[in-house]
Structure 1
């Protein structure tokens, strides 16, 4: 069975990034994939200092193990100052090729302003650098405060369709590139 790990790069409770991740996860699960969400708000992770081991931080091992055992990733980041959040960058920096190489990744960014691809491009470079595969479908949710209702559901049908296409591409490409089935 294809296994996907979802990581949200926002620490804010009830963030639009977490809502976007929940929608992506539900669509991927509907296609038969197993999904584990790593909630960085609930993990105690140090700032990456380039060390190989962080023995006083067991959540580093949990992060590494979960990602290493996964076939694919859903990475969601708010866009801060034209790039990825420090939280998701730090989580990725705590891992190495051993954990990320060969993973298939779907990328989502969430912005308060107009939709663009700055954070998505930066995530794409990071994943490519560690020899991962990024699917072509990506989602930039602009003006996020207009996109979700109070229950976290999407208000825009076109965007909802993009989440469907994103999920299908992630599952299909993960199965192909990793040699697994749903």
Structure 2
């Protein structure tokens, strides 16, 4: 039986970023459902600045693109910087072509230093639409992110935990509907 494959991309270049911690928690939720996960942490896998003049890609870029191509669905996490996505994630997304994301379910996730990261999520969903991906009907935004996780990596707030589980459940359902391989596995 083939497993659903999901690629998670942590779009912060900050050590111990709350958006990356949130993505690691989501990783544990997916693995508990027997979903194959590939975790790409851009703080550990730096990419050269994208240039449309150079299509001879660095090995790190090739790794990211392969992870995206092999995935049935994507979860992208970003900190909110100045009302938008991080430069590290935007740079990674600039390497992607529409045929690598077209028709795949995508869940957008953000963490903000303030109450919410809605602007970054709106920008991220616009980018996904332009790559012909299918945005999940839900998204996840946490505010004041550095204070939200316990030592076990799980969110401290029960309501937040429930919202994250609901959004991940919605994403998994959408991915199953869009992916014949994932649907056949169930």
Inter-CA distance 27–103: structure 2 relative to 1 (3 Å threshold) = same
Aligned match for 2:24, one of 22, 40, 44:
22
**8 Å contact kept, 1:104–1:133:** yes
Partner residue, 2:50: 48
How high is the TM-score relative to the length of structure 2? 0.92
Aligned residues: 181
Relative to 1, partners in 2 of residues 1:18 and 1:28: Cα closer, same or farther, differing over 3 Å? same
Distance in 2 between residues matched to 1:170 and 1:61, nearest whole Å: 26
Q: CA offsets, 1:86-142, max 9 Å, x none?
A: 100000101111222122111110011011410000000000111000111111101
RMSD: 1.4
Match of 1:124 in 2: 125
Question: For residue 179 of structure 2, what is the aligned residue in structure 1?
Answer: 178
Would you say the 8 A contact 1:105–1:135 is kept in 2?
yes
Aligned to 2:170: 169
Where in structure 1 are there 5+ consecutive unaligned residues?
A: none
| Secondary structure of residue in 2 paired with 1:66 | helix
Q: What SS does the corresponding residue of 1:121 show, helix, strand or coil?
A: helix
C-alpha distance 39-90 of structure 1, shift in aligned 2 (>3 A): same
- Distance in 1 (CA, whole Å) between partners of 2:140 and 2:96 is 24
Q: Which moved more, 1:154-163 or 1:172-181?
A: 172-181
